[in-house]
Copies of this chain bind each other. A is one copy, B any other.
Amino acid sequence: MLNDISLKEAFELVLKNITPTTLTKTISLNQALGEFLAEDIIAKRDAPAFSNSAMDGFGFKHSNSKKLKIIKTIYAGDKFEDFELNEDECVRIMTGAKVPKNVNTIIPIEKCLKVTDKYIEIPEIKKGANVRVKGEEIKKGEILIQKGEEITPETIALLASQGIYFVKVFIKPKIAILSSGNELKEPWEKANDDEIYNVNSHAIKALLQNKGFNAEIIGIIPDNFEKTVEFINSLKNYNVIITSGGISFGDADFIFKAFKQNGLKELFHGIKLKPGRPTMVGFMKKTLVFAMPGNPISSYLNTFFLAIPALRKLSGANKYYYNFVYAKNKNEFKLNPKKAHTALGVLKYGEWEVINNYKYGSSMLSALAKANSLIVVDEGKEKIKEDLVKIIPFNTDFVKKGMFFN
């Protein structure tokens, strides 16, 4: 029988048993999106690297002089022998241009009282206005970005500004995806009415890809114990194996035994969870094995919920727990308090609604395709009320109406 453990326990047990990789590679910024840093990034230069103007305007040494002679124009990128201004002088200066030695204040043209080709007249203005001072944001030598951070468009901006083009990142795991069931047809094949298509391999591969992991679809596990033992044995060079189906205790479910024959030590086999109870996670020597249920919603959800955080930890990421957002639950729905639950829903305009009152079956892919988020409920709850709930989004970025203005 399945040795059901709680979902919380299952989740933590998987993460606890994962040792992050130490394998690294060096890549350039244009390949770096979605990789995890294998080193702290140290600032190579001050930011700003030189004191410069934050606006198009006139730069001067702050004093009581209110009529200033324009002695020079400085454009962004101009290089010049540094010089000092007198108190009655100013320079025309463009955004980003280096300010001369004793210029400490910039006034934009529209705040001047008078502007001619020769001079300007200015009102009172705060000393230091519109000058970005060398090093005020970042000091050379400080830690800019920490090891384990994911490289995002935002970190790429920061790295580029520092002239850091090559970064050391962790090598992501080599992942094999298998399905079980010789009856399955691939979606490019013709299936008769009494045949079904292989959904799980393709869904799991796309889900992993969406979360930054490449995986290979290896094929379909043979419906025969000896051949399966041999097949699994051939996969030991993968860091991770994800199977679906054949992991409950029906007669044809010999996948677990075939893994055991190959030295697998399971962390658990069975979770007190709906959907997705028949799930096994373990290690075959160093290879992390997820045996997911055959029902496509269960295998999707457990890959999302259990495998992705594990893959992130394995890949050296320093953030691998799902974040959540609060949303108002639109419809109360019932649960079996003896189990934990994952339920699909739609998160839109700050509200969340469970799909079909949580009455969809775990093979109903139309429910999955409608959903953009899920709720994870610990055991012991009999219902989810119309109240604030914690939601994990997965495809909520865009909607049909613009309602985001505050």
Complex partner residue of A132 from B137, B194, B317, B361, CB under 8 angstroms: B361
Identify the closest chain B residue to A384 (Cβ). Answer: B406
A residues 183-205 in Cβ contact with B at 8 Å = 183-191, 193-199, 202-203, 205
CB distance from A317 to the nearest CB of B (A): 7
Cα(A363)–Cα(B76), bound, Å: 14
Partner of A187, one of B150, B160, B202, B326: B160
Contacts of A96 in B (CB 8 A): 181, 183, 196, 294
User: How many subunits of this chain does the assembly comprise?
Assistant: 2
Flag whether A104 is at the interface (Cβ < 8 A). no
What is the CB-to-nearest-CB distance from A187 to chain B, in angstroms, rounded to a whole number?
A: 4
Distance of A400 Cα from B312 Cα, bound (Å): 12
Q: Are A79 and B326 in contact (CB under 8 A)?
A: no
Stretch at the interface among A116-124, A260-268, A371-379: A371-379
- Interface 9-residue window, one of A59-67, A206-214, A224-232: A206-214
Other-chain residue from B203, B252, B325 in contact with A156 (beta carbon distance below 8 A) = B203
Known: A76-B181, A322-B402, A348-B323. A165 touches B188 (CB 8 A): yes
How many residues on the A side are at the interface (Cβ–Cβ under 8 A)?
129
A155 interface residue, CB < 8 Å from B? yes
Which one of A17-25, A48-56, A168-176, A234-242 is at the B interface? Answer: A48-56
Tell me whether B319 and A400 are in contact (CB under 8 A): yes
One digit per residue, 1 when the CB lies within 8 angstroms of any chain B CB and 0 when it does not, for chain A 10-50 equals 01100000000000000011100100000000000101111
A302 at the interface (CB under 8 A from B): no
A292 at the interface (CB under 8 A from B): no
CB-based contact A154/B190 at 8 Å: no
A317 and B398 within 8 A (CB): yes
CA distance A321 to B402 in the complex (A): 5
Check A145–B404 contact: CB distance below 8 A: no
- CB within 8 Å for A199 and B318 given contacts A206-B33, A207-B153: no
The answer to whether A300 touches B157, judged by C-beta atoms less than 8 angstroms apart, is yes
Cβ–Cβ < 8 Å partners of A165 in chain B: 186-188
**Residue A336 lies at the interface, judged by CB distance under 8 Å to chain B:** no
Q: Return chain B residues, CB-CB under 8 Å to A185.
A: 163
Report yes or no: B395 in contact with A152, Cβ–Cβ below 8 A.
yes
Name A137's contact: one of B49, B349, B366 (CB within 8 Å): B366
A-B contact pairs, 6 of them (CB 8 A): A45-B191, A76-B294, A157-B300, A159-B187, A325-B347, A392-B404
